[in-house]
Amino acid sequence: MPFAATQPWGIFQNGSGKDVNRPSTMGRRRLLAGITGGLVALAAGRVEALQPPPAPIGTGHLELFAPATGERLALDYRRGAAGRPDDAALRALAHFFRDWHQDATGPIDTALLDTLSELQRRVDGRSIHLTCGFRTARTNRSAGGERNSLHLSGRAADIRVPGITTSRLYRTLLQMEPGGVGLYVHQGFCHVDTGDVRHWEG
């Protein structure tokens, strides 16, 4: 089965190869793992001994609830074999993640969405409750957020998952290393962002 050796490359062949939005941190890791595995195996001439291809890029399934507005959102924001982000779904998500205090919609980071989707998988599909997504500078000031908070650029979310303690949620997020992870046990939520890998307990 010589094509099994090139299976990981199929991900690129199916896509445009130019979709800068698509590769999340985790997606990139999977792709790189697959490519590296393929190259090593080809170099060693062990085509039949290849590792299985990496898991396909997910559909970006998310089920979210915003306690502040009572809104629910359940969707798949990736489409097709290449898992390209769907514009309409991203608009719906940006709206969902908006600054409720100012009724202002900001950007939304697909890597953050991928993190939340993977988290949801790891907590058995439970709904993720979003207590804070995008923040305008004004809301960030009144919330006492850092001046360069990643909430300002749509790269951070404060979340809780009913049925999962915040400590367990924190540990689960830490294992994923999405970027920044903060535990706010008294407030009952975790902060997660796609910045540098770091963690703290508030």
* Nearest to Zn ion of 53, 106 (CB atom): 106
DSSP reduced 3-state for 129: strand
As to burial, measured by CB atoms within 10 angstroms (0-12 exposed, 13-18 middle, 19+ buried), residue 169 is buried
* Nearest to Zn ion of 50, 159 (CB atom): 159
Q: Does 135 bind Zn ion (CB under 5 A)?
A: no
Is 134:104 a contact under the CB 8 Å cutoff? yes
* Nearest to Zn ion of 62, 183 (CB atom): 183
With CB under 5 A as the contact rule, which of the stretches 7-15, 106-114, 170-178, 189-197 interacts with Zn ion? Answer: 189-197
Q: Where are the beta strands (DSSP E) in 60-193?
A: 61-66, 71-76, 78-79, 84-85, 128-132, 156-160, 180-184, 189-193
- CB-based closest residue to Zn ion: 191
Over the window 2 to 21, marking each residue x when it contacts Zn ion by CB under 5 A and - when it does not, the resulting string is --------------------
Q: Does 98 bind Zn ion (CB under 5 A)?
A: no
Q: Does 191 bind Zn ion (CB under 5 A)?
A: yes
Q: CB of residue 177 vs Zn ion: minimum separation in angstroms?
A: 17
Q: How many residues bind Zn ion (CB under 5 A)?
A: 2
Exactly one of 158, 160, 180, 183 binds Zn ion (CB under 5 A); which one? 158
Bridge-based pairing of strands 198-201 and 180-184 is: parallel
49-68 binders of Zn ion (CB under 5 A):
none
Q: CB of residue 150 vs Zn ion: minimum separation in angstroms?
A: 8
Q: CB of residue 184 vs Zn ion: minimum separation in angstroms?
A: 8
Which residues contact residue 46 at a Cβ distance below 8 angstroms, ignoring those fewer than 6 apart? none
Which residues contact residue 12 at a Cβ distance below 8 angstroms, ignoring those fewer than 6 apart? none
Q: CB of residue 50 vs Zn ion: minimum separation in angstroms?
A: 42
CB atoms closer than 10 angstroms to residue 15: 17
Q: Token pair of 129, please? A: 């409750």
Binding residues for Zn ion, rule: CB under 5 A, are 158, 191
